[in-house]
Amino acid sequence: MSKKPAQPQDKYVLRLPDGMRDRIKAAADVNNRSMNAEIIARLEGSFIDDASEQIERQDRMLSEQTAAFLSLAEELRETKSNMTRIERELKSVTKSAVTIGRALSEAASGNDRDLNLLLRIAREDPFPKKHSEDE
């Protein structure tokens, strides 16, 4: 009867610090494994732990990026709202400026009705100041 050839395996000579061999042997006995199987199991476990830590890190980064995205989305919404408000105010001011321009043109040609309109608009202050909380 011939023996089957063993599967090729990497071999590595390892120097252990004093007392480490005894600790590995004791752990192997407790886990009912050979010393080699104990070392392999512990190495495999460390790779799983590394992968778990990497997943946790990536999960934290994803959470932080999601929070940053939501914050930027809120800022964008506020900016859009402000732009809409400014656009309305600009249209109002432009309309007032056109009315003033027409009134000035008519006043220059001698139409008192438009001069009176111009004076009324000027008194209305087409650029009202914002009221602050302090006033």
> Three-state secondary structure along the chain?
CCCCCCCCCCCCCCCCCCCHHHHHHHHHHHCCCCHHHHHHHHHHHHHHHHHHHHHHHHHHHHHHHHHHHHHHHHHHHHHHHHHHHHHHHHHHHHHHHHHHHHHHHHHHCCCHHHHHHHHHHHHHCCCCCCCCCCC
| Inside any domain, residue 118 | yes
Q: Label residue 102 by pLDDT band (50, 70, 90).
A: confident
| Inside any domain, residue 14 | no
Residue ranges making up the domain that contains 118: 20-124
Q: Label residue 114 by pLDDT band (50, 70, 90).
A: low
Return the number of other C-beta atoms located less than 10 Å from residue 103's C-beta: 21
Output 9 or 68, whichever has higher pLDDT. Answer: 68
Output 104 or 111, whichever has higher pLDDT. Answer: 104
| Inside any domain, residue 133 | no
Please tell me the total count of domains within the chain.
Answer: 1
- The per-residue pLDDT for 135 is 44
| Inside any domain, residue 100 | yes
| Inside any domain, residue 93 | yes
What is this structure's pTM? Answer: 0.42
35-108 vs 112-124: helix crossing angle, rounded to 10: 150
| Inside any domain, residue 135 | no
| Inside any domain, residue 1 | no
Task: List, in order, residues 6 or more apart from 127 with CB less than 8 Å away.
Answer: 93
How far is C-alpha 41 from the geometric centre of its chain's CA atoms? 40
| Inside any domain, residue 5 | no
